[in-house]
């Protein structure tokens, strides 16, 4: 098997993100992590929704699926179920994953499919030129909200922890080394791995700039117990700053494993030629 290098993952399309956009760092960190784990391009699929961040699959040489708005996760979960041998990575923005796709985020956490989900959070809808998103701060002004944004924010890390996501981490586009570490951990993890990346938009979000986020960012304590979900929630909720690192990690059977158990059970009752149609007979 070929030893992969960062440049092997370079897609045919040059990244169309603005110069200075945080997503460039995420792209580099993912390539580094994939090279470290020697992910082969023909064994890897990157699935996205819609948004600037969701253009990600075009910039990689792996398989890719640029789906529809908010639907990266159901497509990624289906892909993994149909072909469990491939590495499936879902990517997208805060708008894609928390507005229109918020429902899928919840259910992915509790099902625990063996995939990684990278959310690039710029606290705005950038592709559509700067409307507020579920992570925009109260008071944010944009062309669409010229006076002030009025809704409270969603905390994606707290949300993921609350519905039992089995790997939860947060990074920041200004620290590519840490991004690489947490993404590598996510790709290695067996189960649903959620990586929240605060990734500033230099064009439409003047409130949460790189400078502002840099002031807030702090590392989780070295002795933080990765299996202590309640403590992880305290750090996720911390008003004093934006903690980064791995918040939580635990193992339980994946969605695919549980599904295979059900199929095996059905076959043991109905025989090897069992099909899903057979299971419906009892209701007819
Ligand atoms: C069903 C549907 N509704 C709305 C849109 C318009 N739309 C495209 S991208 C987007 C928001 C993207 O925001 P985010 O996911 O945060 O990505 P970013 O561009 O900030 O990276 C919206 C509302 C759409 N494409 N499809």
For 77, residues 6+ apart whose C-beta sits below 8 A from its C-beta are 108, 111, 113, 115, 255
Rounded Cα distance between 135 and 122, Å, is 8
Please report the pLDDT score of residue 279 as a whole number: 64
Please report the pLDDT score of residue 233 as a whole number: 98
Please report the pLDDT score of residue 270 as a whole number: 77
CB atoms within 10 A of CB 227: 10
Please report the pLDDT score of residue 156 as a whole number: 98
Please report the pLDDT score of residue 282 as a whole number: 58
The per-residue pLDDT for range 11-28, each reduced to its tens digit, is 999 999 999 999 999 999
- Sign for the CA dihedral angle at 174, 176, 177, 178 comes to positive
Please report the pLDDT score of residue 11 as a whole number: 97
Low-confidence ranges of the chain (pLDDT < 50): none
**Cβ atoms 232, 196 nearer than 8 A:** no
Q: For the chain, list the domains and their CATH numbers.
A: 6-252 (3.40.50.970), 253-284 (no CATH)
Distance of CA 162 to the CA centre of its chain: 16
Measuring from each residue's beta carbon to the nearest atom of ligand 1, which residues come in under 6 Å? 50-53, 69, 92-96, 122, 124-128, 133
Distance of CA 243 to the CA centre of its chain: 17
Q: Buried b / exposed e across 247-280, counting CB within 10 Å, b at 16+?
A: bbbbeeebbbeeeeeeeeeeeeeeeeebeeeeee
85 CA distance to ligand 1 middle (Å): 31
CB atoms within 10 A of CB 83: 11
Instruction: Catalogue the E-assigned strands of 8-68.
Output: 44-48, 63-66
Please report the pLDDT score of residue 103 as a whole number: 96
State which of 118, 128, 201, 207 you would mutate to test the pocket of ligand 1, scoring each by most atoms of that ligand within 8 A of its C-beta: 128
Rounded Cα distance between 85 and 91, Å, is 19
Query: Closest ligand 1 atom, CA of 99?
Result: 15
The per-residue pLDDT for range 27-55, each reduced to its tens digit, is 999 999 999 999 999 999 999 999 999 99
Rounded Cα distance between 74 and 78, Å, is 6
Q: Does the pTM exceed 0.75?
A: yes
> What are 248's strand-pairing partners?
168
- CA angle in degrees (0–180, nearest 5) for 152-22-59: 120
Rounded Cα distance between 16 and 120, Å, is 15
Tokens 């925009």 belong to which residue?
A: 136
Rounded Cα distance between 55 and 64, Å, is 10
Percent of residues, the chain, with pLDDT higher than 90: 86
How far lies 177's CA from each of 38, 40, 180, 211, 262, in Å? 18, 22, 5, 18, 41
Whose Cα sits closest to atom 1 in ligand 1? 69
Query: Closest ligand 1 atom, CA of 97?
Result: 15
4 CA distance to ligand 1 middle (Å): 33
């Amino acid at each position: 098997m070929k030893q992969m290098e960062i440049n092997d993952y370079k897609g045919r399309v040059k990244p169309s993100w603005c110069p200075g956009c945080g997503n460039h760092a995420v792209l580099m960190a993912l390539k580094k992590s994939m090279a470290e784990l020697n992910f082969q391009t023909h064994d890897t699929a990157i699935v996205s929704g819609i948004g600037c961040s969701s253009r990600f699959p075009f910039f990689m040489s792996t398989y890719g699926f640029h789906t529809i708005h908010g639907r990266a996760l159901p497509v990624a979960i289906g892909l993994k179920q149909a072909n469990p041998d491939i590495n499936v990575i879902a990517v997208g923005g805060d708008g894609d994953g928390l507005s229109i796709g918020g429902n899928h985020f919840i259910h992915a956490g509790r099902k625990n499919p063996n995939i990684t989900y990278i959310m690039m959070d710029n606290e705005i809808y950038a592709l559509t030129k700067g409307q507020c998103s579920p992570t925009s701060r109260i008071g944010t002004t944009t062309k669409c909200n010229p006076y002030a944004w009025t809704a409270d924010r969603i905390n994606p890390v707290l949300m993921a922890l609350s519905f039992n996501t089995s790997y939860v981490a947060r990074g920041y586009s200004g620290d590519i080394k840490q991004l690489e570490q947490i993404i590598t951990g996510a790709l290695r993890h067996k189960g649903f791995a959620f990586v929240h990346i605060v990734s500033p938009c230099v064009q439409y979000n003047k409130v949460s700039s790189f400078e502002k986020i840099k002031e807030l960012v702090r590392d989780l304590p070295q002795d933080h117990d990765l299996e202590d979900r309640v403590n992880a929630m305290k750090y996720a909720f911390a008003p004093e700053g934006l903690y980064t690192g791995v918040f939580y990690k635990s193992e339980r059977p994946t969605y695919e494993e549980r599904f295979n158990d059900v199929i095996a059970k059905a076959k043991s009752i109905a025989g090897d030629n069992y099909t899903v149609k057979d299971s419906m007979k009892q209701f007819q």
